[in-house]
Amino acid sequence: MNLQTIEFFHSDRGKGFDNHLIDKCLTAFGIKRSLSRKDCLYDNAIAESTFKAVKPEFMPNTIFDHWRNLNWNLITMWIGLIITGFIQY
């Protein structure tokens, strides 16, 4: 992956991301930092619950060459889950 193509790095305000080494890396590649809102416990709730559902099930060990390919595969997966009745929509 070419780090120079990444525009933003989003994280919560956890101690794991409060790190000078991460700051140096982001600065070196011109990546802007995006943080969750302070004292907003539910800011990342939707994203985190989606990642929790998708990560173990969705194409393990797959690397996508472009975000559009990832997006298409995610849409296809969710449509399949809805059609099969796994997700009640």
Q: pLDDT per residue over 42-84, tens digit each?
A: 777 776 776 676 666 666 777 778 878 888 887 887 777 667 7
Using DSSP, state whether 50 is helix, strand or coil.
helix
Domain boundaries, the chain: 1-41, 44-89
**CA dist., res. 61 & res. 70, Å (int):** 13
Whole-structure pTM value: 0.47
Structure tokens at 47: 């994203």
**Which tens digits make up the pLDDT trace of 6-47?**
888 877 777 777 778 888 888 998 998 887 777 776 777 776
Query: What pLDDT score does 55 carry?
Result: 63
Two tokens at 71?
A: 């997006």
